[in-house]
Chains A and B, each alone.
Chain A
Amino acid sequence: MGLVHGEEMVLNIGPQHPATHGVLRLQVKTDGEVVSQITPYMGYLHRCFEKHCENVTYEQVIPYTDRCDYLSSMSMNFGYVVAMERLMEIKVNERVEHIRVVMAELQRIASHLLCTGVFGLDLGAFTPFLWALRDRERILDLFEMTCGARLLYNYMWIGGLSHDIPTGFIESTLKFLDEFEPNIDELENILAHNKILVERSADIGIMPKDIAISYGVTGPNLRASGVNWDLRKNDPYSIYDRFEFDIPIGQGMKGTVGDCWDRFYVRIQEMRESVKIIRQAISKMPKDGDVHQNLPKKIRPPKGSIYARTETPRGDLGYYIESDGSAIPYRLKMRSPAFTALSVMDEIAAGWLLSDVLAILGSLDIVLGEIDR
């Protein structure tokens, strides 16, 4: 952007591009290599989730919520089940609560592993992607041991769970955690402190605090901008207030607070905190208890509405459920965290080079299934 001004060129990135973010189209207006405006176009994966929810019963909604954010389907189920249990005033027993926390935190580790691997892949580092996928496969083995599915589980039901954890699950999980903790350090050393990655992501795509809050950005993206806000601590649901864990906040170690490197590093630190939570939850888990004990015979919530939020790996997920007293929801709206994260793209990516746009998109960690629903 100097003395020579050329014509503005309009480029399309997508809707099919080799990164795993899905089908998204970014219309980029560039002046040479420098980007002046980005407009995201979505809707290529709009699968009419909300219309389906108005036509099936409350239990049948759970598999549809799985498929919205397919990288963290346990968290999607968890959010819906927390909202429904608040609406119907059902209290589940202690064993169910502890198992839910273990599953949600394992899912958080799996999702962050994929996100960090793909961030490296977008910037050209292929090996850490394979290491991340290798560890993720071990977590998917644990899930498969419990409920039989690798990716879309339909595990958390309203009032309980679909299957109890089998014998050998706790030993396998503890063994996995023992072998996984040094792998986080290895991944951090090869990626986070790597000179090329630092050059390509530090000081780029800075998101200031007030823009983040006004655009509704939540989760690791907001914490990387310096705001200490985590729903597990500030507005606890389930039994998260019994565990001790820290909230990693972006500090601008390699550049400014709120740049791509901070968003990436906060996720690596969150994996360590999740390991802590899983260990505490396993040690406090009651040995007996029936996971099908509090399942209601008929799910007919009272007339009314509720809005409940939970913390998924991408931010805070909200479900607004309006019920008219029958067995089928009247209206269900899912407020997805990736939708708000994508909306801030124009603000933070304008003015950078074209190759930085992909780094910024990768650091926001979006999943198109959740945005388009």
Chain B
Amino acid sequence: MGLLTNKFAEDNVIVAKLEKLLNWSRSTSPWFFQFGTACCAIEMMAAAAPRHDIKRIGFIPRSSPRQADVMIVAGTVTMKMAIRVKKLYEQMADPKYVVAMGSCATSGGPYWQHGYHVLKGVDIVIPVDVYVPGCPPRPESLIEGLLKLEEQILEERPLTRKMA
């Protein structure tokens, strides 16, 4: 509302593309599903803590996948857990996004070489939108990754019919 107050002398009508309006309203408050498995989960908690506070940019933690828009996969995903990750992703409602936080979720992390039980990157089982590298990434890196996700959402075109 801040941009529009006291700007117009009379009642008026604003014309905009519907897609832009939808994108703008969706990108500024994606609620995230805190799926923390390992060390990166602690940095995700620290990002929600008073010093770095991601709630002020609109990200509110939810514990249930049904209520969330974004799933932040923080930490190593193992073979035993991979099946459950897929199930949780399917339980989220559309439109949904995934952020792979940390090098373990991106590509297996320090366990890539001899880890027989480690999934080498969570994008083997679910589609990922933003990768945040680091081991663990600082809360500031996570915030930058989330803001990039917001930029991505702003450029979507959900209403246009897609070819093929």
A interface residue numbers (CB < 8 A to B): 15-18, 20, 22-23, 43-48, 51-52, 55, 63-64, 67, 70-71, 130, 133-134, 137, 150-152, 368-369
Least CB distance, A120 to chain B, in whole angstroms: 14
B39 touches A152 (CB 8 A): yes
Closest B residue to A52 using CB positions: B114
Also in contact, A48 and B117, with CB within 8 A (given A133-B46, A137-B49): yes
Also in contact, A52 and B111, with CB within 8 A (given A46-B78, A46-B117, A152-B135): yes
Alpha-carbon separation in the docked complex, A52 to B80 (Å): 19
Alpha-carbon separation in the docked complex, A36 to B30 (Å): 41
Q: Is B37 among interface residues, defined by CB-CB distance under 8 A?
A: yes
Also in contact, A130 and B50, with CB within 8 A (given A22-B38, A47-B78, A71-B42): yes
A63 contacts across to B, CB distance below 8 A: 110
A137 contacts across to B, CB distance below 8 A: 46, 49-51
A70 contacts across to B, CB distance below 8 A: 38-39, 42
Alpha-carbon separation in the docked complex, A29 to B113 (Å): 40
Q: Which of A18, A48, A52 contacts B34 (CB 8 A)?
A: A18
Alpha-carbon separation in the docked complex, A133 to B48 (Å): 10
A44 touches B41 (CB 8 A): no
A134 touches B78 (CB 8 A): no
B interface residue numbers (CB < 8 A to A): 34-39, 41-43, 45-46, 49-51, 63, 75-76, 78, 80-81, 84, 88, 110-111, 113-118, 135-136, 138
Least CB distance, B124 to chain A, in whole angstroms: 16
A15 contacts across to B, CB distance below 8 A: 81, 84
B111 contacts across to A, CB distance below 8 A: 47-48, 52
Also in contact, A20 and B36, with CB within 8 A (given A47-B78, A130-B50, A134-B50): yes
Q: Which of A22, A48, A130 contacts B118 (CB 8 A)?
A: A48
A43 contacts across to B, CB distance below 8 A: 78, 80
Alpha-carbon separation in the docked complex, A195 to B67 (Å): 33
Would you give 18 A-B contacts (Cβ < 8 Å), ordered by A?
A16-B84, A23-B81, A43-B80, A45-B37, A45-B81, A46-B80, A48-B115, A51-B116, A52-B113, A55-B113, A55-B114, A70-B38, A71-B42, A137-B51, A151-B43, A151-B136, A369-B38, A369-B39
